[in-house]
Amino acid sequence: MAGSRTVSNMEIHISKESEVPVRQQLAEQIVFQIATEKLKPGQTMPSVRELARRLKIHHNTVSHAYQELVRRTWLVRRRGSRIAVRAQALTPGPSTTQGLDELINMTIHAARERGYSLQALRERLRERLLAEPPDHILVIDQEPGLRRLLQEEIHAALGWPVEDCAREDLAANPGLAIGALVVAPQYALEDVKAIVSKDRLTIPIAFSAADGHLERIRSLERASVIAVVSVSAGFLKTAQSLLAPAVGRRHSLCQFLLPLEDGGALRGADVIFCDSVAMHQVASPKAVHYRVVALASLEYLKSAMESLQRA
């Protein structure tokens, strides 16, 4: 199965000259690979020594990065001490009906991976959809800044009302999901599904790649000041590690968490990478937009919402 393959083509770039610690660069770039679905759930990671040899870094650095990501539940340990991307577990129900529902869940995600629309599954799904169609989207994530960012992009792209909450809020008050189509970042999907009613569809969100933004930095002809502005602290942490190899020691990287305390702080920047919330607040011709949600995820979410409303 594809989910059990060992990762062989990770796009990890490490700069030993960067002020960002190598371990942080490695850990956050692995996080980004998972969030953008370049690393699939269940895939086995390279061994510590193999990845260290590939990246030409000390094996202890890889080991510490893996340990941190296991602690943060991005990765899991398998029998034999192998490390893998956390899988989307399928928990069998105690009865035939519940087992069939779980099979449908697995089929939905498998169909998405293979490019099929939800239309093909519509009739079978009808048995487990809510009697009333959803009238809004509910974003679930632990970080308020990232929730706001996802809320902004989904509403701007699709036009439907979008609300948000943390997992613990939904666990304490399941009524928050009434009338909602629940969405969550792909890496947090299993945690969210564990607290959402089994008769409710939960849609995973994948993040966009950053290849174009990295290339923009590499193409700069002179030493430059690179700024990153975001409403999300997590976004800034990942950006710092992701951009570190391209920034190196030639350029300078500055980060700003909204709201900006000093409106003039960005005047000296040559390139300003902004998330979708920051783009509304940074009035500069140097601003470059980074959209977090992958276009394919928005299209799938639109298809799912429309299908549920017609059911």
CATH number of the CATH domain containing 22: 1.10.10.10
User: How much is the pTM?
Assistant: 0.74
The tens digit of pLDDT for each residue in 15-58 reads 998 999 999 999 999 999 998 888 988 889 999 999 999 999 99
The tens digit of pLDDT for each residue in 143-166 reads 999 999 999 999 999 999 999 999
Task: State the pLDDT confidence band at 212, using cuts at 50, 70 and 90.
Answer: very high
Average of per-residue pLDDT values in the chain: 85
CA–CA separation, 64 vs 24, rounded Å? 10
CA–CA separation, 241 vs 15, rounded Å? 10
* Strand ranges in the chain using DSSP code E only, listed in sequence order: 75-77, 83-85, 136-140, 162-165, 180-185, 202-205, 225-230, 252-257, 271-274, 287-289
Supply the pLDDT for residue 265: 83
Supply the pLDDT for residue 121: 56
Specify whether 202 is located in the same domain as 215: no
Residue 90 lies in a domain: no
**CA-based nearest residue to 256, from 238, 273, 244:** 273
Q: State mean pLDDT over 2-11.
A: 53
Specify whether 147 is located in the same domain as 247: no
Specify whether 155 is located in the same domain as 197: yes
Phi-psi group of 126: left, alpha or beta (phi > 0 → left; psi -120 to 50 → alpha; rest → beta): alpha
Structure-derived torsion over alpha carbons of residues 69, 71, 77, 81, reported in degrees to the nearest 10: 90
The answer to whether 160 and 137 are in contact (CB under 8 A) is yes
98: tokens are 């519940």
Residue 60 lies in a domain: yes
Supply the pLDDT for residue 82: 84
Supply the pLDDT for residue 104: 59
Specify whether 191 is located in the same domain as 269: no
Specify whether 177 is located in the same domain as 252: no
Specify whether 182 is located in the same domain as 299: yes
Pairing of strands 180-185, 202-205: parallel
Query: Above pLDDT 90, what percent of the chain?
Result: 61
Domain that holds residue 235: 211-289
Q: State mean pLDDT over 88-106.
A: 52
Domain count for the chain: 3
Specify whether 264 is located in the same domain as 124: no
